[in-house]
Chain A
């Protein structure tokens, strides 16, 4: 497989080194290293306020890191943001929806914004709506949709330009059990062709869709392992999570 010749995109899609971010005196993220390979689904775990969202904001260029570097498919995100952002699809914690628009209008705008070829927009739109289960509600106003459907529109927006890297911040919040199952299937499917990072509080979600897991606590990356490795050693993710994050209580946080 001469991937180098066929594809200009290297196998490592995200590599972040020494990523730190402070807000005033408060250090939200401290010296985080993160690497993601193509076709890998990474689960980012951590209690509330651990710095997961901040890390994701830095990886997508929404927030400039205080120090450290981010390479997206070999392109420096800080030096060449516009080129690097082409490869990223991002669903923030609060789905960025224009509620006055219809689903179609909104997705069309998202596609244009991400430089999707004008001639391909209709095709891409139908496909992405089908993938996210939005086919029947293209004409509906986003404000009239339930939280679960709004979340799906958010996911659709993140994958409409077929990015190499998909970053989903708590994608299953507000969904009912059936929808959660659907979105997990979607994530697994996406994970075959691209890299996915998702943050979540739900441990079984990580176990069912992720290849690798990293746990953050108080801004520091405290654990990183492949899930198959955990299974081989017979370790329970829940146990590890508890052990690593319950220190919070002891340090008086």
Chain B
């Protein structure tokens, strides 16, 4: 009976989701990007153009049947490099979120449930962190430590968790006053049980929406950082660096900057549409 209910529930969800065209487009874009990044060596026309290859006779070739996105300043196929560049972008989003989301959620749970000094300390910390623009923080950290994209992204992760903390905190504040939580407390359930079995599951949909929206933003920030010169070591392709390198050839060789830029837009847009779709689906308010 309960299995059937669960099934019909998820079917209902899927039905509602699939009625929302933007959400479906978002999902498609995200799945497509993930697949492209995963299968990059098999689907790209010139997989060796990711490594140490130069072909100066073919530099600055405009888009053609052979090179759909044209070639760059050392004659490498831009389509190939864009698809491989997705790997870096998605990896960055993954790194930041895999750190920020669980940590931020845990902090939010603690602050919201225990209140008192725990709440004051955690929430004031988030206030401080939220006052720092992530891009500036990333540049500062990169300047102090080794200037690498990974350090910059870790700096961003160190700020990003606060958004999740605030979100979860506000939800926990509401949920902990609900009767089923009181009931569990009355029954003598442990705090761990209440936090992770009673409260957390009711925050999951909001966290999912927020995470999906975040992925888009993190990809944009990662691209901005590599545009500003904190890119990954060449010759590994990286979308932000490609835009930045290509910009010096504007407007003549527009494809070198514009097409990688479009790829960034595409992925970030995909995650945002998906996030918006999920928000409509779960009917979550106040995420962002």
Chains A and B bind each other: no
The interface of chain B, by Cβ under 8 A from chain A, is: none
The interface of chain A, by Cβ under 8 A from chain B, is: none
